[in-house]
Amino acid sequence: MSTAAARAPATVTAKNSTDNVTYILGLNAYHADGSAVLLRDGELVIAVEEERFRRIKHWAGFPAESISRCLEVGGITGADITHVAISRDPKANLLRKAAFALANRMKVSNIVNRTRNLRKVNDMRGPLAESLGVPEPELPRIHFVEHHPSHLASAFFVSPFDDAAICAIDGFGDYVSTSTAIGRGNRIEMLERVSYPHSLGVLYTAVTQHLGFPNYGDEFKVMGLGPYGSPEFITEIRRLVTLRPGGTFELNRKYFRHWDEGVEMEWEGGVPTMGRLYTPELERLLGPERKPGEPLTPHHENVARSLQAVYEECAFHVLNGLWERTKNPRLCLAGGCAMNSVANGKVRDETPFRELYIQPAAGDNGTALGAAFQVWNQILGKPRGFVMEHGYWGTEYPEADVTPVVDARKDDEWSYSWVRHDSEESLCRTTAKLIAEGNVVGWYQGRMEWGARALGNRSILADARRGDMRDLINARIKFREKFRP
């Protein structure tokens, strides 16, 4: 993303009157990484993710807690909301969905599961009215914005670019897995789409599952495992996908279950889950699957490295195809695959693009942001004026709220206590001394980060000079694999 030293304001104060003020509530609901954002006349007020309040990673369902925080920070009531933008469109690509299901004889149970999920998205008026505290007949206008246009809007409309090429790559949403576009002013023109079942996100997730990481969102673990290996399986993994002219691609049907059977998915009320994506043919190609918890071997490291290499080949093929169509040196990226920071760091080397913008919540959490700005800029036709220059858009809590929480824990095993400092310099000197002595410091300030990365306001600080510090944090604080950076 564009870097800046600025921080979000310490508090957000509502205008004295909501007359003639347009409030847009953007939602990612009944999908992984539920989230909500609030715009006031095209300016972002708050952006939050439901997982932070539910304490469940990638929480899927209706983001009621996030909506409550949006109203609280915005200083408004639900009756003040003018538009609601939802980053799903149950009616999008219906003919393509039906034709694929009939042609490939998908399991009835999977069709029923997907239909039930789409019905919840379509019938959101009840929970929305409850969260906003208004009767259903008085709900504001609801806009269903297709998943990939929401991704594209989340990347471009908050960028510093007047015009740019735009690309979104993910697993799939509303039956699309990859989309490219050109953005000019307050308009986005779609150029190319790759539809289900072909998906680079599915490719990465399938091999991630094969490597023994079954949980939703585990792909970043494989990205972190790859540098320990060598690309010895690059020829094998290239068999999974074929690059096509113009920046498109196709998966090899024999290696993927979702093609013929569909895949079990759960997007409601908790941890999102996704069934196994690969067929036994993948095991014949790459070797036996690793069971979760089994030791990681050089074989697994080599498969991870090879997967990353092939993914990069495919992603840069898509981006170079986009360059050929736009010849625009500026690029905005979104979609879950835009969280692949290893690939992101190579864009300038592997493509002609010279300027790159990725907002912090590039995954499905960011579709709430994109849906809201799609309504403001493209549907309402308002000019652009907001640029996201930092990631500090969440909630914050003053000392008066923090004190009783700490005091309640003062007698437990961690023996919390207060030490007050008269100046920021004193605080920083004390913190630096603690870190140098080998302590691990939890650093809390200002508004919570928007997106998956801790950017200094909710961070763990430790001495990077100590060779054992990474293992200590992974084992005792984050409870994660030893290879993780």
Give mean pLDDT, residues 22-31.
Answer: 97
The phi, psi pair for 113, rounded to 5°, reads -60, -45
In 245-283, the DSSP E strands lie at: 248-251, 265-266, 273-274
Whether this prediction's pTM lies above 0.85 is answered by: yes
- Shared domain check, 171 and 239: yes
pLDDT of residue 43: 99
Residue owning tokens 């299901």: 101
Question: Region 143-167: what's the mean pLDDT?
Answer: 99
In sequence order, the β-bridge partners of residue 85 are: 26, 143
Q: Which residues constitute the domain of residue 27?
A: 23-160+365-379
Residue 252 counted as domain residue: yes
What confidence tens digit (pLDDT) does each residue in 309-355 have?
A: 999 999 999 999 999 999 999 999 999 999 999 999 999 999 999 99
pLDDT digits 0-9 by tens, 351-367: 999 999 999 999 999 99
Q: Are residues 124 and 177 in the same domain?
A: no
Q: pLDDT for 118-133, tens place per residue?
A: 666 768 999 999 999 9
**Whether 41 and 74 share a structural domain:** yes
d(CA 289, CA 294): 10
Q: To the nearest 5 percent, what fractions of the chain are helix, strand and coil?
A: 40, 20, 40
User: Distance between CA 155 and CA 136 in Å, rounded?
Assistant: 32
Beta-carbon neighbour count of residue 214 at 10 Å?
17
Number of domains comprising the chain:
3
- Looking at the fold, whether 69 and 94 belong to one and the same domain comes out as yes
pLDDT of residue 407: 83
Same structural domain, 85 and 143: yes
User: Which spans in 147-218 are helix H?
Assistant: 147-156, 200-210
Residue 151 has pLDDT above 70, yes or no: yes
Higher pLDDT, 415 or 246: 246
Classify residue 358: in a domain, yes or no.
no
Which of 194, 146, 145 minimizes the C-alpha distance to 171? 194
> Is the Cβ–Cβ distance between 164 and 156 less than 8 Å?
yes
| Adjacency order of strands within the sheet including 176-184 | 187-195, 176-184, 163-173, 330-334, 355-357
d(CA 8, CA 452): 17
Looking at the structure, do residues 278 and 341 belong to the same domain, yes or no? yes
Q: Given phi > 0 = left and psi -120 to 50 = alpha, else beta, which region is 28?
A: beta
Claim to verify: residue 29 and residue 82 sit in the same structural domain? yes
CA-based nearest residue to 11, from 398, 386, 391, 372:
398
The answer to whether position 482 is within a domain reads no
DSSP label at residue 196: T
Can you tell me the distance from the alpha carbon of 178 to that of 315, in angstroms, rounded to the nearest whole number?
A: 10
In contact, 191 and 148? CB cutoff 8 Å: no
| Cis peptide preceding 245, ω within 30 of 0 | no
Q: Looking at residue 246, which CATH number applies to its domain?
A: 3.30.420.40
48-69 tens-digit pLDDT: 999 999 999 999 999 999 999 9
pLDDT in tens, 450-473: 999 889 999 999 999 998 898 888
Write the pLDDT tens digit of every residue in 280-310. Answer: 999 999 999 999 999 999 999 999 999 999 9
What's the whole-number average pLDDT of the chain?
90
